[in-house]
Amino acid sequence: AYTKAWPEWNSACSSAYAEPCSEWNTQALVGMAAAELLSAPDETTLETRMRMIVDRTGEFSEASRGDFQAYVLTEEGNCAGGTSCPEWPSFWLSQILTILKVADGDWL
């Protein structure tokens, strides 16, 4: 059975660092977000969990995760829930989204 167990978090680390602690925290945050979304038993829970990530509440709050932040994107690559995305180079995001789409238009 699935048991929620978050990885250790290095609260002294900033996302601006080019250090192993930044990589660790980034991977931990992505893993946390994926676990929350993939373990949702129904659509209502999924939407609630997506909102928690977008609004930075609960385990995703600034108090819990400092300046590390996960984003929920629409199929078009825009930030969901009325939030603003960082200034990503648009060609990177379009390349990523193109890679994730398969021939019949479904997502991997």
Please list the ranges in the chain whose pLDDT falls under 70: 1-2, 82-83, 87-108
In tens, the pLDDT along 56-85 reads: 898 888 888 888 888 877 777 777 776 677
Q: Are 62 and 56 in contact (CB under 8 A)?
A: yes
Inter-CA distances, 75 with 30, 78, 99, Å: 18, 7, 12
The CA distance from 25 to 103, in Å, is 34
DSSP string, 30-62: HHHHHHHHHT-SSHHHHHHHHHHHHHT-GGGSH
